[in-house]
């Protein structure tokens, strides 16, 4: 792969920006400085550095973010802050997008990838990828509501598929759903005459938030996902 393409694929900048970086002699290939954008990189064997940093090319990338409240799930927006702004410098953002969405006021696990096929698979209703949410409630929850949530509730013309409720205490539950409809968890709690006051996604399929601190990002692999 050509050096300028390699650098854009690594998320360093646009073709024009990376040409500028290369012309400033900031890149080394196996320790040798180069100022030619046309140099060929052997992806298997060559070590490319920008300053001290070794640049790594990955065709498919996966990252999880512990999203903080106050950011919308979108790649860009004219008015609101987006989840892309929560990604640190070291993340290669090229073609990266969030898989599914969390509401602006929701925290927790949000997966990012540049692989559309995998994103599609994870979001497909046929795949039934389980998502577990920590849900804090406005009112105490009773057994009848738990039963209704587990069996399925009407959220405005649609009856939800069976879910799993674990009671943390009478004002807090863990809710596992296999769907991902718009505002689903909030609507489900509305349907049992309660209200969500705090929502955090703890698990998405095999991916778990674990001890990832709020606002932090971790790279994951395909084998962590499936």
- State the nearest-atom distance from the C-beta of 182 to ligand URA, in Å: 8
Q: Which of 42, 60, 77, 103 is catalytic?
A: 103
Question: Among candidates 208, 185, 180, which has minimal Cα distance to 137?
Answer: 185
- State the nearest-atom distance from the C-beta of 102 to ligand URA, in Å: 4
Q: Do 67 and 86 meet the contact criterion of CB atoms below 8 Å apart?
A: yes
Q: Which lies closer to ligand URA via its Cβ, residue 61 or residue 200?
A: 200
Residue 103 is among the residues annotated as catalytic for this protein:
yes
Q: Which lies closer to ligand URA via its Cβ, residue 21 or residue 74?
A: 74
Q: Which lies closer to ligand URA via its Cβ, residue 7 or residue 189?
A: 189
Q: Do 168 and 176 meet the contact criterion of CB atoms below 8 Å apart?
A: no
Residues in contact with ligand URA by CB under 6 A are: 102-103, 106, 183-186, 199
- The whole-angstrom separation of Cα 177 and Cα 68 is 21
- The whole-angstrom separation of Cα 97 and Cα 94 is 9
Q: Which lies closer to ligand URA via its Cβ, residue 12 or residue 185?
A: 185
Q: Give the tokens for residue 214.
A: 């709020």
- State the nearest-atom distance from the C-beta of 117 to ligand URA, in Å: 23
- State the nearest-atom distance from the C-beta of 118 to ligand URA, in Å: 20
- Give, rounded to a whole angstrom, the gap between the first and last alpha carbons of the chain: 30
Q: Which residues contact 178 (CB under 8 A, 6 or more apart)?
A: 128, 129, 130, 131, 161, 163
Helix (H) or strand (E) holding 149: helix 143-151
Would you name the residues annotated as active-site residues?
A: 103
């Amino acid at each position: 792969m050509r050096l300028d393409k390699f650098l854009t694929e690594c998320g360093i900048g646009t073709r024009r920006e990376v040409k500028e970086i290369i012309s400033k002699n900031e890149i080394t290939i196996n320790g040798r400085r180069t100022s030619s954008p046309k140099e060929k990189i052997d992806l298997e064997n060559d070590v490319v550095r920008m300053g001290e940093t070794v640049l790594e090319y990955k065709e498919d990338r996966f990252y999880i973010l512990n999203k903080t409240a106050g950011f919308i799930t979108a790649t860009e927006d004219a008015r609101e802050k987006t989840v892309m702004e929560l990604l640190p410098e070291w993340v290669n953002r090229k073609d990266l997008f969030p898989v599914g969405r969390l509401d602006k006021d929701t925290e927790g696990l949000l997966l990012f990838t540049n692989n559309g096929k995998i994103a599609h698979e994870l979001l497909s209703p046929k795949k039934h990828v389980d998502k577990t949410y920590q849900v804090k409630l406005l009112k105490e929850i009773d057994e009848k509501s738990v039963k209704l949530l587990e069996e399925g509730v009407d959220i405005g013309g649609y009856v939800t598929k069976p879910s799993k409720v674990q009671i943390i205490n009478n004002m807090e539950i863990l809710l596992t759903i296999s769907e991902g409809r718009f505002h689903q968890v909030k609507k489900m709690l509305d349907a049992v005459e309660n209200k969500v006051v705090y929502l955090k996604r703890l698990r998405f399929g095999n991916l778990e938030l674990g001890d990832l601190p709020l606002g932090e990002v971790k790279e994951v692999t395909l084998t962590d996902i499936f």
